[in-house]
Structure 1
């Protein structure tokens, strides 16, 4: 085979492959669009839920205790780190 024949055959194969991929992706986009339209048509509209009411955002004694423990741990770590440096 000549170089030009190989080049022409390669270009034809490339065009065939790219055409196949383009066709597949086009069919995929169309089918997904149609399916999403069908789902929107047949699925009932979502019912909005009632807003959740929350109580006052005060801190409980347990939260205060946890905060004190964390604060003490950070203070101790910083103090020990200062000695090691």
Structure 2
């Protein structure tokens, strides 16, 4: 019985050690690939987006928008 228990513990330690080594290698490989890709394909700096302005004819009148939203809410609730 003790032999079976020691073999089970040995197998568990071997399996867990293998997983730890594999995950460590995976982290290093992923980090290395990320650095290589970043070196050959650098990201362009983000361009600031221009603010959208309302058309001059619309002004600040949101009556049509409010009517459409109200109709959509009533349609959804019915």
* Deviation, structure 1 residue 63: 1.3
1:66 to 64, 68, 77: 68
Gaps of 5+ in 2: none
| Alignment size in residue pairs | 71
State the secondary structure of the residue aligned to 2:67.
helix
Aligned position for 2:9: 11
How many Å separate the matches in 2 of 1:20 and 1:39?
28
Gaps of 5+ in 1: 74-85
* Deviation, structure 1 residue 50: 4.2
Paired residues for 1:1-85 under 5 Å? 3-56=1-54, 58-66=60-68, 69=71
Task: Normalising by structure 2, report the TM-score.
Answer: 0.69
Moved over 4 A (4+): 67-71
How many Å separate the matches in 1 of 2:17 and 2:39?
33
* RCO higher in structure (CA 8 A, sep ≥6): 2
